[in-house]
Amino acid sequence: MVDVGWYMGLAAALFMIGALGILLRRSALVMFMCIELMLNAVNLTLISAGRVLNDLNGQVAVFFILVVAAAEVVVGLAIIVAIFRRRATASVDELSELRG
Amino acid sequence: MVDLLWLVIALPLAGAVFLHFFGRYLREPLGGLLASLAIGGAFVVAVIAALPFFEGGEHGTVILLWQWMPAIGANLEILWDPLAAVMTLVVTGVGALIHVFAIGYMHGDGRFSRFFTYLNLFAASMLTLVLAGNYAMLFLGWELVGLCSYLLIGFWFTRPTAAAAAKKAFVVNRIGDLGFVVALMLVFTTFGTLSYSGIFERAGDQLTTGMATAIGLLILVGAAGKSAQIPLYVWLPDAMEGPTPVSALIHAATMVTAGVYVIARSAAIYDLSPVAQTTVATIGALTAIWAASIAIAQRDIKKVLAYSTVSQLGYMFLAVGTTAYVAGIFHLMTHAFFKALLFLGAGSVIHAMSDEQDMHKMGGLFKKMPTTAVTMGIATLAIAGIPPLAGFWSKDEILASVYARGGWFSFLWILGLVTALVTAFYMTRQWVLVFLGEPRWGEDKHPHESPRVMTVPLIVLALLAIVGGLINTPFFTTLEHFLEPSFELVSMQHPPEDGLLVLILAGLSVLAAVGGIAVAFVSYRRPRERWLDFEHGFGPLWGTWEAAYRVDDLYGATLVGPGRKAAELTAFGLDLKVIDGAVNGVGRLVRYAGDWTRTLQTGYVRNYGVLFLGGTLLIVIWLVAGGM
Amino acid sequence: MVETVLFILMAVGALAGAVTVVGARNTVYSAMGLLGTLFSVAVLYVVQLAHLVAAVQVIVYAGAVMTLFLFVIMLIGVDKSESIDERLPRQRLWVGGLAGVIIILAGWLTVSGEFVWVPAEEIPFDVEATNGGIQQVAEPLFTDWVLAFEATALLLTIAAAGAIALAHFRRVRS
């Protein structure tokens, strides 16, 4: 058996990589993928914790997160496409008019 | 009748209030008649209420009008004793005559009714002061007469000099009031009350000499402000900017006597402090001769009278400082008669000469206005101290009492005697310059005698100036008996017992008076060039007198100038730069903070992401630290 | 034994995929990296007896979502490479700083001994309770969490409607 800590560590690493990816990449699509990475890291954490605590609710929670993530991707990608039609760019840096 | 005494204050007050609201609807003489009736009514009430005092020995009653601040002994209460009665009769009697005179003098003025509003208000205030049964009510009246003085001096406020004079009067008065208020504080801490009945009887037990001296000197400060003594007399000559009835009423007969009254009323306190007494007397004597010397060289007919008033008030202070209270009040009364007469006469002259006030441009007016000339002549003789006119008896009683006191007061007696000579001189000079000699006025002036509404009060006052002195001669001491109950607790100075000494002293003062008259008559009953030579004969001294020793310039340089600079510094330096700067600075600070914070809103999602992550990190660290 | 090996293999795969997502210049490479990560994590789910979730992950996530991603990449431009320079000032500085802080924090937490590392042997493991088959997972879904279930169904419907509305916007305007 593998210690739970390893799983948590892996999840943490995945999460961190995803977070840094959001901050460093300009393309909206890649940022989205990094968000998916982070969500997966959280799912992994939940499953592992459910296993340690002998609780099935961890998996139930993951289920819901999966569904919501799917819905979010749908809408998010629709927005990106709509923006691309207007401005011919997928770069997040171009969308900076809400500034002080 | 005593319980109707409140009418004395209420009638002029009601007159003032009524005229304030409805005066503008009244045609011309109505407002003046109403005001004169109000004060005349007050006079009648006062006379009837004073009748019991004529038998002598009656002590006086306290009448409570309204409970104001009972805890500190300050209610609206009237103390009706002989001293209050004398003052009330003078104020209402002379005041009524002046009101009638003013109906004629203010004819044609655009604010006729408003003038009488103020006059009546002044009368009510002065009566409040005089009838008060405690120091608080006295102070109320004190401040109100100051206000009315301001309103009346500045009645023609469109003239910048008038507005400035009113302001000066108020400010100088204020300085005196500061001393007065501190005195009241000391009185309160010593006695626990401000009511006369709680103070004067216990004064002997509760006052130390030091405290009595302090209170006495501080009251003197207030009195010097109100009654124009050194060093706070400078407002009175400027106050001549007001209409002449104002000068007659306020600055001759009534308001300026408030200082003398307050010292006389506080006799029980002065009784315990020889130092305070001597100070009062010395200030009085010095003021008397100082002001008299200035009056010698004045060209304006009203300025002569103004400085004369300051000088005569000095006599009154000399008297009460010597504890010759009866003599002081006596002179107050006679002075009210002849000074009011002099001012009203001057008003008559000014009116006839179409507002000319420079005596060098008058002369030969006797034929044109005989009634005025004769009445003013009587007043001149009275003030000079020629028997048997009123001024002689009162002035002589003062001088005799001062001489009898001895010691330092002998020197003060000499000053008083010299002042009498000078007084006779400058008053005669004025009369001769105005009424005798060749006319020196231009073609545009048409002098004529004044209407009866103005000359009748002159005649009445002249009669009073003639017989008024007879109420307190060494042969018939009526006034002294009248006032005795008010002063029975204190030791009072009297003229010497020795009849011969009294006669010699009287002779000396008459000699001084006659001498002064003679010099003036001879010097000025000549063509113009001759008396100009006479004036120049005094050299630079004459100019110094004419410029009133340049005291105003001195005050201006030492007090007014620095005061104004301090005010400018505070207003433009402190208030504008520091306080406004701090407030504006806070505003600027907020704006800069806002500007800086604004830079955080870059519009770039990735920058916001950094902030997110950083914040989340902080929360994690905090949770971890909390869990440890 | 098996689990350990599988764990190491899948961990490497997941991390490699993640790094590819972040580091690749070509967007399609990023998508492929993500795919790899998803598959690795699905295997890890199976190892932990979460069978239904693993299956759903592969079918929905790797199957539908990634397909959607690839469609959009295609729409937007496959061959466009993102330029490497950073235009926002000091962004890399801040990120580097944050990353450093996080690494230090994690390291300190692990090493400091304030937190207890529980070895695997000491954890009670009940296969019955955590076996994530369809029936076992469906039970709580339709009883305890039925409200959330219905709500997420509604959410999906709204998301689909929203996507259609967004896609149609342009035509309505012109």
Residue C17 sits in a domain whose CATH number is 1.20.120.1200
Q: Would you call C7 an interface residue with chain A, using a CB distance cutoff of 8 Å?
A: yes
Q: Does C113 reside within a domain? A: no
pLDDT < 50 positions in chain B: none
* CA-closest candidate to residue B331, choices B396, B422, B428, B266: B396
Q: Would you call B621 an interface residue with chain C, using a CB distance cutoff of 8 Å?
A: yes
> Do C141 and C69 share a structural domain?
no
The 8 Å CB, 24+ separation contacts for C76-80 are C76/A29, C76/A80, C76/A81, C76/A84, C76/A90, C77/A90, C78/C27, C78/C28, C79/C26, C80/C27
Q: Chain A closest CA to B601's CA: distance in Å? A: 5
Per-residue pLDDT tens over the stretch B112-163: 889 999 999 999 999 999 998 889 999 999 999 999 999 999 999 998 999 9
**pLDDT, position C24:** 86
Q: Chain B closest CA to C102's CA: distance in Å? A: 8
> Do C144 and C74 share a structural domain?
no
Q: Does C123 reside within a domain? A: no
Q: How many separate domains does chain C show?
A: 2
CB B250 within 8 A of CB B256: yes
Mapped to the 3 state alphabet, what secondary structure does B184-216 carry?
HHHHHHHHCCCEHHHHCCCHHHHCCHHHHHHHH
> Cβ contact (<8 Å) for A77 and C132?
no
CB A95 within 8 A of CB A88: no
Which mean pLDDT values do the consecutive 10-residue runs of chain C (174 residues) have?
A: 88 95 89 95 92 93 92 78 69 86 85 72 72 86 93 94 81 55
CATH annotation of A4-88: 1.10.287.3510
Q: Does C9 reside within a domain? A: yes
**pLDDT, position A1:** 67
**pLDDT, position A37:** 95
Sequence-ordered list of residues with C-beta below 8 angstroms from that of B568, at least 6 positions apart, any chain? none
Mapped to the 3 state alphabet, what secondary structure does chain C carry?
CHHHHHHHHHHHHHHHHHHHHHHCCEHHHHHHHHHHHHHHHHHHHHHCCCHHHHHHHHHHHHHHHHHHHHHHHHHHCCCCECCCCCCCCCHHHHHHHHHHHHHHHHHHHHHHCCCCCCCHHHCCCCHHHHCCCHHHHHHHHHCCCHHHHHHHHHHHHHHHHHHHHHHHHHHHHC
**8-state DSSP, B79:** E
* CA-closest candidate to residue B324, choices B289, B383, B277: B277
**Alpha-carbon torsion angle B163, B169, B172, B175, nearest 10:** -110
Nearest by CB to A84, from C76, C120, C160: name it.
C76
Among residues C60, C79, C98, the one where a domain terminates is C79
Chain B neighbors of A97, CB-CB under 8 A: 603
Q: Does C31 reside within a domain? A: yes
Q: Would you call C102 an interface residue with chain B, using a CB distance cutoff of 8 Å?
A: yes
d(CA B601, CA B614): 16
d(CA A52, CA A62): 15
**pLDDT, position B271:** 86
Cα torsion angle, B465, B471, B477, B479, sign: negative
**pLDDT, position C36:** 95
Chain C neighbors of B628, CB-CB under 8 A: 114
Q: Which chains border B (3 or more CB–CB pairs < 8 Å)?
A: A, C
Q: In the block, which residue shows the tokens 């319980």?
A: B3
**Alpha-carbon torsion angle B327, B328, B329, B332, nearest 10:** 120
> Cβ contact (<8 Å) for C101 and B602?
no
Residue ranges of alpha helices (H) inside B386-494 are 390-405, 408-435, 452-467, 478-483
Nearest by CB to B610, from C94, C102, C109: name it.
C94
Tokens of B124: 């009510």
Q: Does C144 reside within a domain? A: yes
> Do C1 and C72 share a structural domain?
yes
d(CA C10, CA C132): 20
> Cβ contact (<8 Å) for A60 and C145?
yes
> Cβ contact (<8 Å) for C50 and A47?
yes
**pLDDT, position B143:** 93
Q: Chain B closest CA to A48's CA: distance in Å? A: 21
Q: Does C126 reside within a domain? A: no
> Do C73 and C6 share a structural domain?
yes
Q: Does C55 reside within a domain? A: yes
| pLDDT of A64 strictly over 80 | yes
Sequence-ordered list of residues with C-beta below 8 angstroms from that of B52, at least 6 positions apart, any chain? B58
Among residues C64, C79, C94, the one where a domain terminates is C79
Q: Chain C closest CA to B614's CA: distance in Å? A: 7
Interface residue ranges in chain A relative to chain B, Cβ cutoff 8 Å = 19, 22-24, 26, 92-93, 95-100
**pLDDT, position B155:** 93
Domain with C57, as residue range(s), is 1-79
> Cβ contact (<8 Å) for A98 and B601?
yes
Nearest by CB to C88, from B607, B621, B624: name it.
B607
Q: In the block, which residue shows the tokens 């301001």?
A: B150
ipTM: 0.90
Per-residue pLDDT tens over the stretch C135-162: 888 999 999 999 999 999 999 999 999 9
Q: Chain A closest CA to B624's CA: distance in Å? A: 16
Q: Chain B closest CA to C98's CA: distance in Å? A: 7
d(CA B351, CA B354): 5
B94-109 in b/e form (b: 16+ CB < 10 A) is bbbbbbbbbbbbbeee
- Give the pairing of strands B74-80 and B61-69: antiparallel
Q: Does C98 reside within a domain? A: no
> Cβ contact (<8 Å) for B606 and A93?
yes
Q: How many beta-carbon pairs under 8 angstroms link A with B? A: 31
Burial group, residue A71, by CB count within 10 angstroms (0-12, 13-18, 19+): buried
* CA-closest candidate to residue B300, choices B263, B349, B262: B349
Q: How far apart are the first and last CA of chain B?
A: 95
Q: In the block, which residue shows the tokens 């990475």?
A: A37
Q: Would you call C90 an interface residue with chain A, using a CB distance cutoff of 8 Å?
A: no
